[in-house]
Every structure is written in structure tokens, then in C-alpha cells.
């Protein structure tokens, strides 16, 4: 199967419903799920037709909360276990709740916390400059070494979000973004969608499993 179809199919199967759960549903009771948060475990293909991960995810240049220019695949994703989400700092409902939940996940990871990178992308790059993201991280107590907040140009963020199976940036409505969490063992091409209302301990256990050698899983 040719580039980018194989990885697109595998990743798309994992992330397709993330686009459906857009931020237009943002409300405090969004977390009152009627279904158990048990995301399916879906692996991408590893045969000769699998496209190079750097080519698929791209090395789009973005800015972190410290103003550093980072390449999305090479500097942010490569060889890491990651948990990605999308927010915008002017959000007053679901975004702070999700950030708080992820803070609980990090705490639940215990000694494994430094083995997982939390990647938060903004859907409102016009407002969310590195300085604004830095202040948001401090305000919420998540200004940590392995918690990366990303912003940049609208076109650059649109490329990155599209490769993650998320909606493109909406010029008038930054709240139009997916609230699903995306967990990935990048080196082993293992990606999973996770509902934002999943229990922090359950998310942490899933991430801990991803940090283990493949043979031990």
C-alpha cells in the first residue's frame, strides 16, 4: 500500500472519531459520559509499504512555550511516548478541565512521569503566543520539563493537526477542535485515542504500558 495511505488508514482509524468530538460540544457536563472509557488498541502497519513517520507527521516548524523553534516530528515526537491534546487559553470550560485531568494523569504516572511527554497544541495561534502559553502552563501548575505547549503560524498548525486526524483551524472559532486525547508510542507506531473523561489512573496505566519494551507488553 502506498504513501500515505497505509499510515493514514491506520492512524485515521484510531483518530477519526476525534474529529467528530469537536469543541463545539464544550460544556462542563461533557465529561458525564454514558459509555465506559475503554479505547480500542489499534496498531499501525509495519510492512514495507509503511511510510516514514517523519514524512507523514512532517517536520513542520512550531514554537514551544519558551519561544524555541521545534520540528514537529524530529524534536517533539521522535522516539517518545506522548500524550497529545488541543486547547486554547481563552477557553473557560472544557480546556481547563482537560488540563487538570492531564495533570492528574502525570501525578498518577509516579516514577514514570518523566518517560511520557505531554504535548498540548493550541487551536488559537493568533492569541496563544509562546508567552501566553507559558503563563497558562504556570497558572495550571503544568510548567514541567516534559510538558510541551505548541503554537506557530496558522498554516503550520493546520498541517500538524490534519496529520493527527484533527479538524483544521477554524478562522472564527478556535473552540472548533477535537477534545480527544491521543496517546502514542512513536518508535513502535502504536497510537490510541482516549476519551477526555477517562479516569486518570486508567490513562496513566495505558501510558505506562507504552513505556515498556514491546516484548514485555
| Domain assignment present for 151 | yes
Q: What is the pLDDT of residue 217?
A: 61
Torsion of CA 43, 152, 158, 56, to 10 degrees: -40
| Domain assignment present for 158 | yes
| Domain assignment present for 104 | yes
Q: What is the pLDDT of residue 21?
A: 43
Q: Residues 128-133: contacts with CB within 8 Å, 24+ apart?
A: 128/88, 128/89, 130/63, 130/64, 130/65, 130/66, 130/67, 131/67, 132/89, 133/64, 133/65, 133/89
The CATH number of whichever domain residue 102 belongs to comes to: 3.40.30.10
Question: pLDDT of 117-151, one tens digit each?
Answer: 999 999 999 999 999 999 999 999 999 989 999 99
Domain with 147 in it: 5-29+39-216
C-beta of residue 136 within 8 angstroms of C-beta of residue 129: no
Rounded CA-CA distance 192/198 in Å is: 13
| Domain assignment present for 53 | yes
C-beta of residue 61 within 8 angstroms of C-beta of residue 70: yes
Q: What is the residue-level pLDDT of the chain in tens, covering all 217 positions?
A: 443 443 443 444 343 333 334 444 444 334 333 333 333 322 344 444 456 889 999 999 999 999 999 999 999 999 999 999 999 999 988 899 999 999 999 999 999 999 999 999 999 999 999 999 999 999 999 999 899 999 999 999 999 998 988 766 554 455 556 788 999 999 999 999 999 899 999 999 999 999 998 766 6
Query: Rounded to the nearest 5°, which phi and psi values hold at 13?
Result: -65, -35
| Domain assignment present for 129 | yes
Q: What is the pLDDT of residue 169?
A: 59
Q: What is the pLDDT of residue 173?
A: 55
Tell me how many domains the chain contains. Answer: 1
User: Per DSSP, what are the bridge partners of residue 181?
Assistant: 194
| Domain assignment present for 34 | no
| Domain assignment present for 25 | yes
| Domain assignment present for 172 | yes
> What are the angstrom distances between the C-alpha of 35 and each of 38, 166, 195?
9, 22, 10
* Cis peptide bond upstream of 141, omega within 30: no
Taking alpha carbons only, the member of 207, 167, 215 closest to residue 41 is 207
Q: What is the pLDDT of residue 167?
A: 67
How many Å separate Cα 133 from the centre of its chain?
16
Amino acid at each position: 500500500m502506498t504513501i500515505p495511505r497505509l499510515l493514514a488508514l491506520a492512524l485515521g482509524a484510531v483518530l477519526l472519531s476525534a474529529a467528530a468530538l469537536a469543541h463545539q460540544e464544550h460544556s462542563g457536563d461533557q465529561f458525564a459520559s454514558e459509555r465506559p472509557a475503554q479505547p480500542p488498541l489499534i496498531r499501525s502497519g509495519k510492512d514495507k509499504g509503511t511510510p516514514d513517520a517523519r514524512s507523514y507527521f512532517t517536520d513542520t516548524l512550531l514554537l514551544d512555550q519558551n519561544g524555541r523553534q521545534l520540528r514537529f516530528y524530529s524534536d517533539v515526537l521522535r522516539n517518545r511516548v506522548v500524550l497529545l491534546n488541543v486547547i486554547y487559553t481563552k477557553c473557560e470550560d472544557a480546556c481547563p478541565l482537560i488540563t487538570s485531568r492531564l495533570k492528574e494523569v502525570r501525578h498518577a504516572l509516579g516514577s514514570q512521569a518523566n518517560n511520557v511527554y505531554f504535548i498540548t497544541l493550541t487551536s488559537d495561534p493568533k492569541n496563544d503566543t509562546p508567552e501566553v502559553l507559558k503563563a497558562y502552563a504556570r497558572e495550571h501548575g503544568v510548567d514541567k520539563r516534559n510538558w510541551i505547549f505548541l503554537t506557530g503560524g496558522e498554516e503550520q498548525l493546520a498541517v500538524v493537526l490534519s496529520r493527527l486526524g484533527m479538524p483544521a483551524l477554524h478562522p472564527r472559532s478556535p473552540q472548533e477542535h477535537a477534545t480527544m486525547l491521543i496517546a502514542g508510542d512513536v518508535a513502535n507506531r502504536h497510537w490510541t485515542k482516549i476519551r477526555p473523561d477517562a479516569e486518570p489512573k486508567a490513562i496513566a496505566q495505558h501510558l505506562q504500558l507504552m513505556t515498556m519494551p514491546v516484548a514485555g507488553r
